[in-house]
Amino acid sequence: MTCFKLPKSLTKRIQSAVTRFLWDDRTGKKKMAWIGWDKLAQPKGKGGLGLRDFESFNDAFLGKLSWRIINNPHGVLSRVLLGKYCMEGKFMDCPDRASESHGWRSILVGRDLIKKNPGWLVGDGTQIDLWSDPWLNVSQQEQLMGPPTETTLNYKVSALLTQDSSDWDIEKIREICPFAEKQILKIKTSRSGAPDKLCWMRTKDGEYSTKSGYHAAFEEANDAERLEMSGNWNQEVWNLSTAPKIKMLVWKVLRGALPVGQG
């Protein structure tokens, strides 16, 4: 799972084995699954058991591998793979071709996950597309509002910096994107001319983690909003001061996972 995208048929077999372990009381004797897998895989704060969705977990592992390639392009792994499959253009824009190896296409699955939650820390501004990349905010994705002119369409952020230093060129900002002047001037550029850095928006330090990648992949797969723990009964069940078996029993009753009659 850390290197290859598993077939859906395989992840379903793994999921089936976990489901049978959860509901059956002995080998060879199947019992009814009172709750669907999509609900079991929801976090406890959403009313589920927090079980891992294996396909989303697979994508999160592949995102970790892609993150290594992005942040260490001069490593042996990066040089070999990029030299073979991405000789032209950037890794983030490399197309997915059916003729390429399954290993490389698996890496692109993780790359696509990262592309949906990125942000940029401005250094020298030479790697950030002025109009299409999110670079105006380090806590959420935000980019310049267009439309750009034909002249500025392919500009990098470095076009807004002075030539002699890494300071913002106020005249150019007012000429190209005056509506974002205040927001741009709040951004601190690198005084030493360090390169731009891609950051992951779902962690405080901007570094990709498998856990945050899993949440991103799971939410995308289920077309859900960001996972937020709220003070409702779903969460309170697991905060009860009682034995784990009792917590599980209460959860089953509240979720309708037990044939409980109404008095």
pLDDT in tens, 147-161: 888 899 999 999 999
Mean pLDDT of 225-250: 68
> Residue 179 is encoded by which pair of tokens?
């509506």
Highest mean pLDDT among 153-157, 218-222, 249-253: 153-157
Q: Say if residues 3 and 65 touch (Cβ distance below 8 Å).
A: yes
pLDDT at 9 over 60: yes
pLDDT at 104 over 90: yes
Work out the pLDDT band at 260, boundaries 50, 70, 90: low
Sign for the pseudo-dihedral over CA of 151, 157, 162, 164: negative
pLDDT at 139 over 90: no
Q: For residue 68, give every residue at least 6 positions away whose Cβ sits within 8 Å of its Cβ, in sequence order, or none.
A: 75, 77, 78
Distance of CA 147 to CAs 134, 143, 153, 245, Å?
Answer: 15, 12, 9, 58
Name the percent of the chain lying above pLDDT 70: 92
Name the percent of the chain lying above pLDDT 90: 39
Residue with tokens 């197309």, as numbered in its chain: 95
**Which has the higher per-residue pLDDT, 186 or 26?**
186
Per-residue pLDDT at 232:
60
pLDDT, averaged across the chain: 85
Alpha-carbon gap, residue 93 to 132, rounded angstroms: 12
Short-list 263, 234, 259, CA closest to 247: 234
Per-residue pLDDT at 223:
63
pLDDT at 224 over 60: no
Task: Delimit the domains of the chain by residue range.
Answer: 8-116+210-254, 119-200
Cβ atoms within 10 Å, residue 70: 19
End-to-end CA distance of the chain: 48
Per-residue pLDDT reduced to its tens digit, 45-87: 888 888 889 999 999 999 999 999 999 989 999 999 999 998 8
Work out the pLDDT band at 234, boundaries 50, 70, 90: low
Alpha-carbon gap, residue 70 to 57, rounded angstroms: 20
Work out the pLDDT band at 4, boundaries 50, 70, 90: very high
pLDDT at 239 over 80: no
